[in-house]
Amino acid sequence: MFRELYEYRELLYSLTLREIRVRYKQSLLGVLWAVFVPLAMMLIFTFVFTRALKIEGRIDLGGMPYAVFVYIGLLPWTFFASSLTGSVSSLVANTSLVTKTYCPREAFPLSCVASSAFDFGIASVLLVGVIGYFHFTTDWSFQFHATLVFLPVVLMVQIVFTVGMAFLLAMGNLFYRDVRYLFSVLINLWMFVTAVVYPLESWRPFCNFLINLNPMTPIINAYRQCLIYGEWPLSLPFAYVAVLSVALLMGAWVLFHRLEPKFAEYI
């Protein structure tokens, strides 16, 4: 499966480029939309939590400004959510290619993940500006830590988990079209049970165990640990997510490959 996908790497590149072009075609801001979405969400949540509800002082952020906290959470979450949103309809949206042309069908959900990774890279540039703004205008200061070298590992774990989920959702929506509608509801609820806009932790070990069963919570916490707190995310929750992500990708890919001959029949 790896060899076949590698042989069709030019197709994957073309599909990814098409996804990017279609997304920003005839738009005034173009690729700046990749920055605008997480920035707008950061501003909204910052206003709600620091001005409207005024709970910033009641949650422990380790001295980090809330805007920095929430942007670091929104950045990987937006990447994750947009990848799966595109992937869930990726096979159905390419009916002619799936039914009339042979190619590894994995390329369709993978192109959605790759195009979202492009947006993630652009939006990451703004993170430097957000951190720099609060570093120079407030009492909070950013410190460079050796843990920054671990960020690619955290990103790779997230990508592996995202691709595994993308394969499952693309298959599920092909066989049962209800999956797309159910996913559109669940992905919004999922964000609020993940440590995206507020920290999720409890003094009860069992509650913390339940919180960390959500794979995206240890991943997002790991970004903050590496970037801001200078902590190595070598905890049991992150190790669990890393193992789960690899197992999910392997299982989903094998299942995707075995069911591939039935795709044309159900599409």
The domain spans of the chain are 2-266
Mean residue pLDDT across the chain: 89
Q: How many other CB atoms are found less than 10 A from the CB of residue 134?
A: 18
- Helical spans, DSSP H, in 101-224: 107-137, 151-175, 178-192, 205-211, 216-224
Residue bearing the bigger pLDDT, 117 or 1: 117
Is residue 40 within 8 A of residue 46, CB to CB? The reply is: no
pTM for the structure as a whole: 0.92
- Quote the pLDDT of residue 21: 87
Angle in degrees, CA 197, 203, 205, rounded to 5:
105
pLDDT at res. 49: 80
Torsion of CA 59, 123, 151, 70, to 10 degrees: 0
In tens, the pLDDT along 122-177 reads 999 999 999 999 999 988 999 999 999 999 999 999 999 999 999 999 999 999 98
Say how far apart CA 104 and CA 6 lie, in whole Å.
Answer: 10
Both tokens assigned to 2: 């790896």
Torsion of CA 120, 233, 216, 46, to 10 degrees: -70
- Write the single-letter amino acid at 220: I
Residue 51 binned pLDDT confidence (cut-offs 50, 70, 90): confident
DSSP state of 234: -
What percent of the chain has a predicted confidence (pLDDT) above 70? Answer: 96
Mean pLDDT on 72-87: 95
Nearest CA-CA partner of 86 in 166, 13, 145: 166
Q: Above 90 in pLDDT, residue 210?
A: no
- Comparing C-alpha atoms, which of 70, 209, 233, 214 is closest to residue 155? 233
Q: Distance from CA of residue 246 to its chain's centroid?
A: 16
At 133, list the tokens.
């703004």
Answer whether 49's CB lies under 8 Å from 199's CB. Answer: no
Q: Is 91:98 a contact under the CB 8 Å cutoff?
A: yes
The predicted-structure confidence for 12-25, as pLDDT tens digits, reads as follows 999 999 988 888 87
Q: How far apart are CA 232 and CA 149, in angstroms?
A: 10
Give the model confidence (pLDDT) of 211-231 as tens digits. 889 999 999 999 999 999 999
Alpha carbons 36 and 123: distance in angstroms, whole number? 8
Q: Among candidates 150, 43, 174, 28, which has minimal Cα distance to 98?
A: 174
Q: Is 109 left (phi over 0), alpha (psi -120 to 50) or beta?
A: alpha
pLDDT classification of 52: cutoffs 50, 70, 90: low
Q: How far apart are CA 207 and CA 40, in angstroms?
A: 32
| Burial grade of 237 (CB within 10 A; 0-12, 13-18, 19 or more) | buried
**Secondary structure (3-state) at 104:** coil
